Chains A and B, each alone.
Chain A
């Protein structure tokens, strides 16, 4: 059974304090790993897709990396508006079903 574990569950940073969120996975046949951002009371907002180990993608202050066992979402010099829950999900097997991790709740303070 596919498993996705995110850590830490919650993270509090000062504005400008860079850090990384972790997504570890145990799956058979990874077809893609996805990062989403979710604000309270909203649906997830797509951030990145990573397909193979060694791949990296960047968007503003966010950078996602992928290895054969885990993915990291690096946040450089975060701002309060980066506060949200960050979800990772894996796509395996046939079809388009995703398995989600439980998320990391990030709070960036002034």
Chain B
């Protein structure tokens, strides 16, 4: 079946540094990928929709200058947390759906645990 891969799975960084998380669709092309954030024992909160070849669409309350998204190809989207602070520590998950399959069915990556010291 379709597989979405994220890297790194865990990252620890110092406050003020930037961290990049990659999301790849391994055996299919994805024009749209989604980035979620999940706090402990809470559900997934959509941060932004990543569109291949165009600007990402951010949800209300999500700082676009803080969370930079680049979707340069049909198989790769990246999320960069800029000038990270401890409150940015969270579990970040990406997802993607099959190209031209407008069914809403999404495949999720394994998630990336970010800890900002």
Interface residues in chain A, defined as those with a beta carbon under 8 Å from any beta carbon in chain B: 31-32, 34, 36, 41-46, 49, 87, 91, 95-103, 105
Contacts and interface: CB of A to CB of B under 8 A. Distances in A.
Given A41-B91, A102-B42, 15 more contacts: A34-B104, A41-B111, A41-B113, A42-B110, A43-B4, A43-B6, A45-B108, A46-B107, A87-B43, A87-B44, A91-B103, A96-B32, A98-B34, A98-B104, A101-B43
B111 A32 contact: no
B74 interface: no
A46 B105 CA distance: 8
Given A96-B97, A97-B49, A102-B42, A42 B102 contact: no
B76 interface: no
- Size bin of chain B's contact surface: 20 to 34
A43 B111 contact: yes
A97 B43 contact: no
Interface of B: 4, 6, 32, 34, 41-46, 49, 91, 93, 95, 97, 102-111, 113
A100 B93 contact: no
A44 B108 contact: yes
